[in-house]
Structure 1
Amino acid sequence: MKINKSTIQELIIEGKTEKAIEMLLTLVGKYDMEIHNSSIMLASRYSSLKKDKMRGVISDSEAKLNENRINFALTQMLTDVKTSWEIGESPIQNENERSKKTILFLAANPQDTQPIRLDKEIREIEEGLRRSEKREVFKLVQKWAVRIPDLRRAFLDEKPNIIHFSGHGSSYGRIILEDEIGNSKEIPPKAIGNLFSLFKDDIECVLLNACYSESQAQEIAKYIPFVIGMNDAIPDRAAIEFSSAFYDAIGNGKDIEFAFRLAQISIELLDITGDDIPVLIMK
């Protein structure tokens, strides 16, 4: 399916708000980062609305009103989208997309956890890849408010080569996703390792940018060549700087070991704590 301004407008008219936002993110991610950043905030608003509806904390009429407001904001955003912008234009372009390495960005910040700057982290990653020498080699796919079903579906649909999880980790060494109503759902290390074992042929690297994630990184590393986890609670600023520098290096053709070390040094150069928290585990 072609993704362009007209396609997104049709989805809005059909009431398919979530799909329209997803396509807008994909389209403007290629052409305009300023609109893309605004689209991320709109996606977050819609995700929060879905959670409120599932929890029953707002009435149907309130939910409809809020969805109409989001659709209005989406329509306003489309006025800045040029009709010439399009993705999926030709078989040649589709073949080029298939040949790219896919970076799958998974984000979760459950409503019963402390808010963290996931939006800032993805902006830094996108900017690093956009300006990099090898930017045409990579495709960045984003999944927000990730639940367990979203995890397996993203793996199956996107066939990622690099997986980046950004969010919270428990002191017991478990990454935290969201449950059906947006609260915390801890993932057992052995279970996450078993999941990655099924996709080991495609995945080259996993980055768990979450506190205390080293034990899960160890499980994943039984099957994946390069896995990065955190051996302690990592400050938000250090986590963002690590991601930014890591993908700056990856986007410029450096290998995983070089990118990891550069990311550590980048934290150190800022003179903030946390450069010794990321751990690289190699199979």
Structure 2
Amino acid sequence: MGDVIFGNKQVGDVLNGGNKYVVNPGPASSPPAERRVILMMSANPVTTQPLRLDEEHRAIDRAVADAQASHLLEVRAATAVRLEDLQYALLRHRPAVVHFSGHGDPVRGIQVTDDRGLARSVPPDALSRLFEILARGIDCVVLNACFTEAQASAIARHVPCVIGMRGGVLDKSAIRFAAGFYQGIAYGSSIGTSFELARNGLDLHGVPHSDVPQLITQPGADTRTVIDR
């Protein structure tokens, strides 16, 4: 009679009272799928207009929870972001989606904070280069801040899908857009469909600026990408 190895593997036969039967080890267990990260980076320098960034974070987190997609998607936050945090956050969290919430300037780009909490501009060319270096694994970047269309276009040279704002956007519009976009993502809709749902949500709720968000794609990119699959 051969040997019996207990666990997930069994070799040989087992004798019980003269009766011979084969032990069925059952299916081997597979490791749980790694959750994809939505990284919400935000900055509201003391010298700029106050924004309800906590409400935007809550809306994104709730969208994932309500869709029961927490086993597929994980929302992480990096608040009061400074220049030195940009590389660190991308390296540490390895996100599938990078979401920036805060202020933007048509010339100087998005605004982060310095050591005193004051506004500090992120050089647009340097930000685009950062995403060129760390683009692997990133499916989408969302610049949910005023006047970020040009910056989104530069980042889209390296990332498949980038959302930027064509002009100024009200705080309530930014929050509603984020809620609609991530609701679509959490329920398994593609980036393109989620973007259109978010803009439609602004119209449904009578919130202005539904024409401000712009989805810009890398040449050859497919907006039908689904983040959590």
Instruction: Please report the TM-score for the alignment, with normalisation by the length of structure 2.
Output: 0.80
Match of 1:213 among 126, 148, 153: 148
Kept in 2, the 8 Å contact 1:212–1:233? The answer is yes
Question: For 1:272 and 1:264, how far apart are their aligned partners in 2?
Answer: 10
Question: For 1:101 and 1:200, how far apart are their aligned partners in 2?
Answer: 15
Partner residue in 1 for 2:42: 107
Q: Deviations over 1:53-104 (max 9, x none)?
A: xxxxxxxxxxxxxxxxxxxxxxxxxxxxxxxxxxxxxxx9xx64x7111111
Residue 153 of structure 1, CA deviation: 0.6
Partner residue in 2 for 1:239: 174
Judging by fraction of residues, say which structure has more strand.
2
Question: For 1:140 and 1:270, how far apart are their aligned partners in 2?
Answer: 25
1:248 and 2:183 are equivalent in the alignment: yes
1:119 and 2:54 are equivalent in the alignment: yes
Q: Deviations over 1:105-131 (max 9, x none)?
A: 001000100100001111111111101
Match of 2:83 among 138, 141, 148: 148
- Taking the TM superposition and a 5 Å limit, the aligned residue runs for 1:28-107 are 96=32, 99-107=34-42
C-alpha distance 280-173 of structure 1, shift in aligned 2 (>3 A) = farther
Match of 1:224 among 155, 159, 163: 159
Question: For 2:67 and 2:87, how far apart are their aligned partners in 1?
Answer: 30
Partner of 2:207, secondary structure, is: coil
Q: Which residue type is aligned with residue 271 of structure 1? A: G
Match of 2:206 among 271, 275, 281: 271
Aligned length: 189
| Unmatched 5+ stretches in structure 1 | 1-91
Which structure would you say has the larger Rg? 2
Kept in 1, the 8 Å contact 2:108–2:121? The answer is no
Partner of 2:105, secondary structure, is: coil
Question: For 1:173 and 1:224, how far apart are their aligned partners in 2?
Answer: 21
Runs of 4+ in 1 over 2 A off after TM superposition: none
Question: For 2:194 and 2:37, how far apart are their aligned partners in 1?
Answer: 17
1:281 and 2:225 are equivalent in the alignment: no
1:174 and 2:104 are equivalent in the alignment: no
Question: For 1:154 and 1:200, how far apart are their aligned partners in 2?
Answer: 13
Kept in 1, the 8 Å contact 2:40–2:78? The answer is yes
Q: Deviations over 1:217-256 (max 9, x none)?
A: 0110000000000010001111100000100000001000
Question: For 2:54 and 2:199, how far apart are their aligned partners in 1?
Answer: 21
Identity of aligned residues (%): 37
By relative contact order (CA 8 Å, sep 6+), the higher-ranking structure is 2
Partner residue in 1 for 2:93: 158
Partner of 2:77, secondary structure, is: strand
Judging by fraction of residues, say which structure has more helix.
1
Question: For 1:155 and 1:200, how far apart are their aligned partners in 2?
Answer: 9
User: What is the RMSD computed on CA atoms of the aligned residues?
Assistant: 1.4
Question: For 2:99 and 2:126, how far apart are their aligned partners in 1?
Answer: 18
Question: For 2:133 and 2:96, how far apart are their aligned partners in 1?
Answer: 13
Q: Which residue type is aligned with residue 255 of structure 1? A: S
Partner of 1:280, secondary structure, is: strand
Question: For 1:127 and 1:119, how far apart are their aligned partners in 2?
Answer: 12
Residue 135 of structure 1, CA deviation: 2.8
Question: For 1:138 and 1:173, how far apart are their aligned partners in 2?
Answer: 32
Partner of 1:105, secondary structure, is: strand
